[in-house]
């Protein structure tokens, strides 16, 4: 059970899905942000990573569209040029600081092409430190690959569901709101309905594990992928088809006690992610708020505009705010 009253954790969860607001995922690991920087000729150093994140976090009026920011371990410990810790800077803007706590994926032994997420070792101690540094929510990502009728395997689904549940329980114990992210990857040639079938199994298994570990559903958020056909599927789907299948899947699997669902962008272009988010919100309602937790779909235009040049900060911030505004508008029914 959480050491704070449930209402305090639930209040944070509800703040993260406040009307017309979503979450900015800025939690790229060292290899991932280097991969993003390299095509633009930006060296990935502590100084450039800090400068880039500060560019994002100080965008004027960001708090009008963004409720929370997911940080990386390094970023949580960094400060602005004025010496203000990033968590404190975000709180001053009315934005809740969060932290990615998993340590990436590794091969699942004896199950080729499947992954298991690492990071439970020492997590209880790390969560205590993260709370002291100003984090108020956490995120853990598990990934699932669809391949014919063989993947994801039941073993992979159950193993990752257990780790998601353990992470969530430990987070609430540390007075942190967990964001549970079971991502079904877009890679593959599977169709829309096959993705929906797999998503139902994954989400049913994840919530069974969460309940088994006594996670308080009122004080957590779910971060799923939208139900999409694989990128190599010869028959792609319209936005309304994606919205219809996504909502049907969520209504069948996500308990009403969960305050909100924050979709990941998962390799979609910024425009695709925004348009499909809008279609989902127009297609119908559920007992939970429907919002976003986008990384590249919010950041890519800003990163390209910035390109590591101090004189491009304002242009980068304008690009970020433009897409944040679009996604905020997409939440209106």
Residue 43 burial by Cβ neighbours in a 10 Å radius (0-12, 13-18, 19+): exposed
Q: How far apart are CA 102 and CA 121, in angstroms?
A: 10
Alpha carbons 182 and 163: distance in angstroms, whole number: 11
Dihedral sign for Cα 331, 68, 298, 325, please: positive
CB-CB contact of 292 with 327 (8 Å)? yes
Residue 175 zone, left/alpha/beta (φ > 0; ψ -120 to 50; rest): left
Q: What are the φ/ψ torsions at residue 147 (nearest 5 degrees)?
A: -145, 105
SS3 at position 17: coil
DSSP 254: S
Catalytic center residues: 181, 223
Burial class (CB in 10 A: 0-12, 13-18, 19+), 307: middle
Secondary structure E strands in the chain: 22-26, 66-71, 96-100, 105-107, 115-117, 137-144, 177-184, 221-222, 260-263, 289-294
- What the block records as the tokens of 241 is 């088809």
Interatomic CA distance for residues 167 and 285, integer angstroms: 29
DSSP letter at 108? P
Those residues whose C-beta lies under 8 Å from the C-beta of residue 26, and which sit 6 or more positions away, are: 53, 56, 57, 69, 70, 71, 72, 75, 295, 299
Tokens of 198: 């797999």
């Amino acid at each position: 059970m959480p050491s704070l009253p449930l209402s305090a954790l639930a209040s944070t969860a509800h703040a993260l899905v406040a009307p017309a607001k979503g979450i900015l995922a800025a939690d790229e690991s060292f290899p991932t942000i280097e991969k993003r920087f390299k095509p633009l000729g930006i060296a990935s150093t502590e100084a450039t990573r800090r400068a880039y994140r500060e560019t994002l976090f100080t965008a004027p009026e960001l708090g009008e569209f963004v409720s929370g920011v997911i940080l990386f371990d390094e970023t949580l410990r960094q400060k602005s040029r004025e010496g203000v810790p990033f968590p404190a800077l975000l709180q001053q803007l009315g934005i809740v600081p969060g932290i990615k706590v998993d340590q990436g994926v590794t091969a699942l032994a004896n199950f080729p092409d499947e992954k298991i997420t690492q990071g439970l070792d020492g997590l209880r101690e790390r969560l205590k430190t993260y709370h002291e540094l100003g984090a108020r929510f956490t995120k853990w990502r598990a990934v699932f690959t669809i391949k014919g009728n063989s993947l994801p395997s039941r073993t992979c689904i159950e193993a990752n569901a257990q780790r998601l549940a353990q992470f969530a329980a430990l987070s609430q114990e540390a007075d942190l709101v967990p964001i549970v992210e079971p991502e079904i990857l877009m890679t593959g040639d599977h169709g829309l309905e096959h993705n929906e079938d797999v998503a139902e199994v994954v989400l049913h298994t994840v919530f069974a594990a969460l309940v088994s570990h006594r996670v308080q559903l009122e004080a957590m958020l779910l971060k799923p992928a939208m139900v999409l056909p694989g990128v190599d599927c010869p028959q792609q789907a319209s936005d309304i088809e994606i919205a219809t299948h996504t909502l049907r899947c969520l209504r069948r699997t996500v308990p009403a006690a969960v305050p909100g669902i924050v979709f990941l962008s998962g390799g979609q272009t910024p425009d695709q992610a925004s348009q499909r988010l809008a279609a989902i919100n127009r297609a119908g309602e559920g007992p939970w708020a429907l919002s976003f937790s986008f990384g590249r779909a919010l950041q890519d235009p800003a990163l390209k505009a910035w390109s590591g040049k101090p004189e491009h900060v304002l242009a980068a911030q304008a690009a970020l705010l433009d897409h944040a505004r679009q996604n905020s508008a997409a939440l209106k029914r």
